C-alpha cells in the first residue's frame, strides 16, 4: 500500500483523469477527498470506493478552495497529497477567442492551481510535507493551432510547478506536473470525433500506437504522490505515448 495512511485532495475528480486517480489512490490505501464543481459527478466517484469522500468546490474561488482544504483537514486530521487536476479547454486563436473564454481558462487551469497551492501547502507543511501535483499538458511544451488560450494556461501551469518546487522544497513539499497528450476523456471527445478518423489519427501520431486512458495518467500521479518519487520535484512528466516526440511523424501523416 504505497499511500497507506495518507490523505489526498484531488480536484476535477468528477470524471476522467481525476476519477481514475481517486480510485487508484484509494486502492493504495489513501483517504481521498474528491472535489469537483460537478456535484453529481463527484458523488458518483465517491460511490465507487468507501475511502473516497465527495466535496463540491469551485477552484476559481478562493473562499471555496480554502473551505475545501479546511474541511479535509478537519475531517481527517492531516493533508499529505494534493492533485490539482481541474481543467477546461476553449477553442480559438487570439483573434477568435472571446475574453470570457480566455478568462475562464486562466481561472480554472492556472488560478485554480495557484489557489490550491495557496491554501493547501500550509496544511501540508503542518502535516510534515507531501506531494503537490498539477495537471499541465503536452501543450505546456509545444503549441497547436486554434487553442491559443489553452496553450498559454498550460505553459503557466508548468512554470508554476517549477516555482512552487523551489519555494517549498525546504518544507518537505515536492511539486511536479503531469503533461498528458491525447487522453480518452470528455474534454478530448469533441476533438477525437470531429471526423471518423480522428481517434485513429491521434493514435497513429503516438509511437505507442494509441491514445491514452485516464488510468494511464493515474499511474503516473500515483508514482508522484508516493514515496517512490521522493527525489523528484520541479519536474514535468509527459504521459502522451511519445506523441510530443512523434510530431515529425504527424507532419508526414497529414
Banded model confidence at residue 207, pLDDT cuts 50, 70, 90: confident
Annotated catalytic, 150? yes
Is 168 part of a structural domain of the chain? Answer: yes
pLDDT tens for each residue of 76-99: 999 999 999 999 999 999 999 999
Is 53 part of a structural domain of the chain? Answer: yes
Catalytic residue among 83, 119, 142, 150: 150
Assign 161 to helix, strand or coil: helix
Segments forming the whole domain that contains residue 148: 7-185+212-241
C-alpha separations of 67 from 58, 80, 189 in Å: 10, 17, 32
Is 194 part of a structural domain of the chain? Answer: no
Q: State mean pLDDT over 8-27.
A: 98
pLDDT tens for each residue of 30-61: 999 999 999 999 999 999 999 999 999 999 99
Is 233 part of a structural domain of the chain? Answer: yes
Is 202 part of a structural domain of the chain? Answer: no
Considering only CA atoms, which of 22, 153, 132, 141 is closest in space to residue 87? Answer: 153
Domain containing residue 129: CATH number: 3.40.50.720
Is 91 part of a structural domain of the chain? Answer: yes
Among the ranges given (162-166, 205-209, 229-233, 236-240), the one the predictor scored with the smallest mean pLDDT:
205-209
Q: Are 53 and 36 in contact (CB under 8 A)?
A: no
Amino acid at each position: 500500500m504505497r499511500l497507506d495512511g495518507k490523505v489526498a485532495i484531488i480536484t476535477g475528480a468528477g470524471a476522467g483523469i481525476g476519477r481514475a486517480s481517486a480510485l487508484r489512490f484509494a486502492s493504495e490505501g489513501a483517504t481521498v477527498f474528491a472535489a469537483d464543481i460537478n456535484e453529481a459527478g463527484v458523488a458518483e466517484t465517491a460511490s465507487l470506493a468507501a475511502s473516497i469522500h465527495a466535496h463540491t468546490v469551485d477552484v476559481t474561488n478562493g473562499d471555496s478552495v480554502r473551505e475545501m482544504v479546511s474541511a479535509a483537514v478537519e475531517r481527517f486530521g492531516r493533508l499529505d497529497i494534493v492533485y490539482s487536476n481541474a481543467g477546461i479547454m476553449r477553442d480559438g486563436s487570439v483573434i477568435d477567442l472571446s475574453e470570457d473564454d480566455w478568462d475562464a481558462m486562466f481561472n480554472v487551469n492556472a488560478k485554480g492551481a495557484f489557489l490550491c497551492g495557496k491554501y493547501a501547502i500550509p496544511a501540508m507543511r503542518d502535516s510534515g510535507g507531501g506531494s503537490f501535483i498539477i495537471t499541465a499538458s503536452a501543450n505546456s511544451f509545444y503549441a497547436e493551432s486554434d487553442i491559443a488560450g489553452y496553450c498559454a494556461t498550460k505553459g503557466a501551469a508548468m512554470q508554476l510547478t517549477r516555482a512552487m518546487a523551489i519555494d517549498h522544497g525546504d518544507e518537505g513539499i515536492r511539486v511536479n506536473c503531469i503533461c498528458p497528450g491525447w487522453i480518452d476523456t470528455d474534454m478530448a471527445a469533441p476533438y477525437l470525433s470531429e471526423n471518423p478518423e480522428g481517434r485513429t489519427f491521434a493514435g497513429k501520431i503516438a509511437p505507442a500506437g494509441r491514445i491514452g486512458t485516464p488510468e494511464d495518467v493515474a499511474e503516473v500521479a500515483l508514482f508522484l504522490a508516493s514515496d517512490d518519487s521522493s527525489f523528484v520535484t520541479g519536474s514535468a512528466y509527459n504521459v502522451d505515448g511519445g506523441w510530443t516526440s512523434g510530431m515529425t511523424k504527424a507532419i508526414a501523416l497529414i
